[in-house]
Amino acid sequence: MAPVEALEVTLTAPVASFRNPLYQGMQIGLPCPPPSTVGGMLAATVGTWDEVPENTRFAMTFTAEGSGTDLETYHPAAAKPAYRNVTIKDREFLTNITLTVWLTTDLGRWEAALRIPVWPLVLGRSQDLATARTRRVHLTRAGRGTQGHALVPHATSPDPLTSNNGEQMQLPTAVSLDRARTKWDTYRYARTGTPATLDADYVTSTGQALILLPPPHPMKATA
């Protein structure tokens, strides 16, 4: 079968922080960005979700060289004044991160947008600035590859030859524009990487398994 052309996007940042939205009022960090965060970053490059095709999907891997905890001032947005007291809380963060995203559709659109993004590239919080570089690559369709540091849907068949198929996580896939609705899905991710092999949608020339994640477009968010 002929190789498929794709756009490989490599984003790096010295510091990034991804708060787990399942913990209200607490600053618990995720080991990798959820698909909704990556989708939001792509939307920022073209300026608005209106410019993002509704069925845009991507595969991704993520690594961090270190982690830490600092302190931040927390301002509760409560209706009652008694609950608006400013407090100091821990904030978990990751260092020297690398996010790699593979897009298989609208390559020219994303290539141009990432070269000159409408909004600054941030990954996580607004101060977590990132840089990006792109290149065209060829992928093998429907092969078996290594999971490594890929985020994959939990429904993906695990490798029975290893016990390390990644940590199960509930992550937001899509968030409505008014933030009233969120589509949650279950994923697996191995923060230290795993040699597990998977039946993948695509495989890179280095053997990395790529599985397309569900679309992160806000129109896909459900109650």
* CA distance readout (Å), 146 to 20, 33, 101, 152: 27, 20, 16, 12
| 127-149 per-position pLDDT tens digit | 888 999 999 999 999 999 999 99
> Is pLDDT above 90 for 26?
no
- 18: exposed, middle or buried (Cβ count in 10 Å: 0-12, 13-18, 19+): buried
* pLDDT score at 128: 84
Phi first, then psi: give them for residue 211, nearest 5 degrees.
-120, 120
Domains annotated on the chain, with CATH: 3-79+86-220 (3.30.70.2660)
Mean pLDDT of the chain: 92
Specify the pLDDT at position 88: 83
pTM, to two decimals: 0.92
Mean pLDDT, residues 107-111 taken together: 96
Q: Which residues contact 33 (CB under 8 A, 6 or more apart)?
A: 16, 18, 62, 99, 123, 124
Residue 144 backbone phi and psi in degrees, to 5: -115, 130
